[in-house]
A and B are shown apart, each in its own frame.
Chain A
Amino acid sequence: MMTRLSLTTLALLTATSAAAQEKPTLTIYAGDYIASEWGPGPKIEEGFEAFCECDLKFVTGDILPRILMEGDKTDADIVFGLNTDVTARARASGLFAPHGQDISDLSLPVEWGDDIFLPYNWGETAFIYDETRLENPPESFQALLSAPEDLKIVIQDPRSSISGLALLLWVKAIYGDDTPEAWEKLAPKVLTVTKGWSESYGMFTEGEADMVLSYTTSPAYHIVAEDDQTKHAAIFPEGHYFMAELAAQVAGSDQPELAQKFMDWILTEDFQTSIPLANWSMPAKLEQAKWPGVMRDLPRPDTTLFYDETQAEDLRKPALDEWLRAFSR
């Protein structure tokens, strides 16, 4: 039965793609949300296929564990959607080739000198609140720590979520050696810690928590898609932690020219203008004047905090231990 099913599928596929048969395929490993209808994937596919004379194929799932396991036998030509926290391990695998782009004038708030991992969008961690429920949000990280205990926040677990890990580094960047004391003050206000971002954000929109760990760009979604002006990021003078999403090409790709063509396209205006509203994040290389109005108008922190990958990798384990100790009491 299975065989017959797949034969039918095959027949259908060959019928529909007879015209496309001659075209080479560019295989992109991407996070699941990227390739969904509601992510930037469909726009990227359409945009690139318009000029590449190729088939762009997204392969979704747990991309880094998968490619690390496949090693040089991987089918991937491009890996799309890695985060800054995993570049050290990805780089150490030796699977990736330089991107070959001019990265001297990116629209990032931090220095970026990486010749392998190319940022295509970025944001900063922030606590989001609803002004109708929280009239006096804390005005600094310090104020959040000393807020009364009935202010409840939800955060993500640094062991299962990248935004959770970013919080770990954020607090480390602000408080350094005093981090354990900072966690101790924050812990009573943490209603709960969830596996991923979506569970936390769901709890916040349900009204269960006053603030949620998310991104400075989150209010843009509510403004554009829901016409809701009540959600804001609390901007702290101590600074916010930087997060970027990255693309890289695979060194052993069997389509190196196509892969290069794709990398060349990422920083162009064509690509960068399609990103902000599809992924709810800031473009990596675009003059501010060309940003969508809503992104331009979002309040931004004056200071952006960021550890490079070696520092972050060194800090990860001890910082995680501090966090675990403070929250396991």
Chain B
Amino acid sequence: MASGVLALRRDAAGIAVAAALAALILGTLAAVAWQARGLSALQSWDWRAVWFTIWQAALSAALSAGLAVPVARAFARRRFPGRALLVTLLGAPFILPVIVAIMGLIAVFGRTGAINEALRAVGIGEFSVYGWQGVVLAHVFFNLPLSIRLILQGWQSIPVERFRLADSLGFGPADTARHLEWPMLRGVLPGIWLAVFLVCLTSFTVALALGGGPAATTVELAIYQAFRFDFDLGRAAALGLVQIALSLGALVLSRRMATAVAFGTGLDLAHGPVGPRGWRRAMDAVAILAAALFLLCPIGAVILQGLPRIPDLPTEVWAATLRSICMALISASIAAALCLALALTIAKTSNGWLEAAGMLPLVASPLVLGTGLFIMLRAHVAIDDLALPVTALINAVMALPFGLRALIPAARSLRADYGRLADSLNMTGLARLRLLTLPRLAAPLGFSTGLAAALAMGDLGVIALFATDQPTLPLKLYQLMNSYRMTDASACAVLLMSISFALFWLFDRGGRLA
């Protein structure tokens, strides 16, 4: 009886989180539509934006997930000095502020970038990064890290005993792939594709800066235009609805593709599977090297440029830095709690709606969300005092979908592998959380929390309508750029990037050590 109530309460937490998310995302959209007294019709340019949005997001997601497979496999089956550090470093692009990433990509792939200088030196024509290829390149740059990490987690969820068994049965690499690796990939890839698809769906600054012009217009830009230039809130809300419809479509598709996997438990042996020798070893080395070059060179370019300027940064930047760190930590704690509650419930009930609610923040247009909140809160509270708390909360919510991608599979295996034993021992409530859930989920939870902290650090503020006299570090970066101080801005970018990364590293490492 008591355990029943506790179980219900535990589910209730997850269901409440899901309901609150749905209310927040759909409620803000409704508020915008209400303010506009209804939705307005889309124009022909809007529909072109919808098509471009769909295909660039689908392609970016397929490439990110596909290219991540060989890299994740190489990391899963090879051991070398500095491997753990490299895995963490390769996560960096995902948490870069957009504007910093664009500058880094241009330094490498741009017209005067390193690649084109080299191509010119050997007499081959130029590669232009501006166009749809640039948009896809940037999206892969941002999302390959997340894909690698999530697939690697999938690999590590296969107990090493299974690989040993395969070995003793005389499996070759192809057999291992067919019986162990492919089923695992069928389980995780659709979810990863979905997450990347949704990230690319709401892309705006990247799509425009590298897209080369209005042919690369996304729905999010159309929303921005409706808000800022036409002041047509009805159209903004209609476009917001289109975005949500697209995401639900993608969600259904990815659920159809995904199959459940269960490899059972192992003894958590520390050493991983031993990879095949011969040419496959060289292939793995190439995969890791290529990924490292692709992901780290743009970051290196940004660091080279900004690092020497950091000591000269104006003092206001340091106050903003401190404020941003506090906000990121608060955001990360909220995100971790919400994420854990939701993931445990999803793992238990396998309810598709709950999972959909968890992904909703990804598809919400930040502009619609911010405006809707403004409309909803304005009548009741002194809105400008809320800027920082609202930013912290929104950032936590926005980071949730990524955290869930890492936590849901882990929570599912936890339930499948240890659930019945824990139930039969009548282990519930805090004891179960402390003795089973937290230790088993420490790694993905640390990863999720770190991600949330880093994303909150780099956030530019969903809430342009809320005023704040307490600017965060990313806002300072933009203020510097808007005042012509591009060199100070590049130093600010390095600072922002390093802190985001340090926060991520701290939680991620902490989680893996726990």
Interface residues, chain A, with chain B CB atoms under 8 Å away: 2, 6, 29, 32-33, 35-39, 58-62, 64-66, 68-70, 89, 152, 157, 159-160, 165, 187, 190-195, 197-199, 201-203, 205-209, 218, 221-222, 225, 280, 323-324, 327-329
Contact = CB atoms under 8 A, between A and B. Distances in A.
Contact of A157 (B111, B208, B374, B471): B208
Where chain B touches its partner, the secondary structure class is helix
A324 B389 CA distance: 40
B48 A328 contact: yes
Nearest to A280: B484
Given A64-B231, A198-B478, A201-B484, 11 more contacts: A36-B482, A39-B483, A61-B464, A66-B465, A160-B208, A160-B229, A192-B212, A206-B103, A222-B484, A327-B215, A329-B215
Contact of B486 (A36, A165, A195, A201): A201
A283 B287 CA distance: 58
A69 to B, nearest CB: 7
A164 B227 CA distance: 16
Contact of B214 (A89, A218, A323): A323
Contacts of B486: 201-202, 205
Given A69-B375, A192-B212, A207 B112 contact: yes
Contacts of B375: 69
A62 B465 contact: yes
A327 B211 CA distance: 11
Nearest to A323: B214
Contacts of B224: 159-160
A228 B135 CA distance: 34
Contacts of A222: 484
19 contacts: A2-B389, A60-B469, A68-B231, A69-B378, A152-B111, A157-B214, A159-B229, A160-B221, A165-B229, A187-B213, A190-B212, A192-B210, A195-B209, A199-B99, A201-B481, A202-B481, A202-B486, A203-B209, A328-B215
A195 B481 CA distance: 13
B429 to A, nearest CB: 24
B480 interface: yes
Nearest to B384: A59
Nearest to A157: B208
A159 B480 CA distance: 23
B88 to A, nearest CB: 29
A30 B130 CA distance: 34
Nearest to B32: A69
B179 interface: no
By Cβ-Cβ distance, the 7 closest A-B pairs, closest first, are A38-B483, A198-B481, A36-B479, A59-B467, A159-B225, A33-B482, A327-B213
A218 to B, nearest CB: 7
A130 B96 CA distance: 30
B479 A65 contact: no
Interface string B102-126: 1100110011100000000000000
A36 B225 contact: no
B69 to A, nearest CB: 31
Most chain A CB within 10 A, of B208, B371, B486, is at B208
Interface in B9-59: 35, 45, 48
B209 A194 contact: yes
Contact of A65 (B102, B231, B314): B231
Contacts of B102: 199
Contacts of B3: none
A89 B227 CA distance: 13
Interface of B: 35, 45, 48, 99, 102-103, 106-107, 110-112, 130, 204-205, 208-215, 221, 224-225, 227-229, 231, 314, 316, 371, 374-375, 378, 384-385, 389, 464-469, 471, 475-476, 478-486, 489
A36 B483 CA distance: 9
Contacts of A89: 231
Contacts of A324: 45, 214
Given A61-B466, A202-B103, A160 B480 contact: no
A160 B228 contact: yes
Contacts of A198: 99, 478, 481-482
B484 A206 contact: no
A208 B106 contact: yes
A62 B106 contact: no
A6 to B, nearest CB: 7
Nearest to A70: B378
Given A2-B389, A193-B208, A33 B483 contact: yes
Nearest to B131: A192
A212 B475 CA distance: 23
A160 B225 contact: yes
Contact of A32 (B35, B103, B210, B475): B475
Contacts of A157: 208, 214, 221
Contacts of B210: 192
B215 A60 contact: no
Given A33-B479, A157-B214, A65 B107 contact: no
A208 B484 CA distance: 16
Nearest to B466: A61
Contact of A192 (B211, B227, B464): B211
Contacts of B475: 32
Contacts of B221: 157, 159-160, 195
Contacts of B107: 206
A221 B225 contact: no
A221 B111 CA distance: 26
Nearest to B478: A198
Nearest to A204: B486
B205 A60 contact: no
A206 B486 CA distance: 9
Given A62-B464, A324-B214, A199 B471 contact: no
Contact of B106 (A60, A152, A159, A203): A203
A38 B481 CA distance: 10
Given A32-B479, A159-B221, A193 B213 contact: yes
A206 B106 contact: yes
Nearest to A60: B467
A135 to B, nearest CB: 17
Contacts of B471: 36
A148 to B, nearest CB: 15
A206 B487 CA distance: 10
Given A38-B483, A201-B484, A191 B467 contact: no
A260 B184 CA distance: 70
A195 B205 contact: yes
B484 A221 contact: yes
Contacts of B464: 61-62
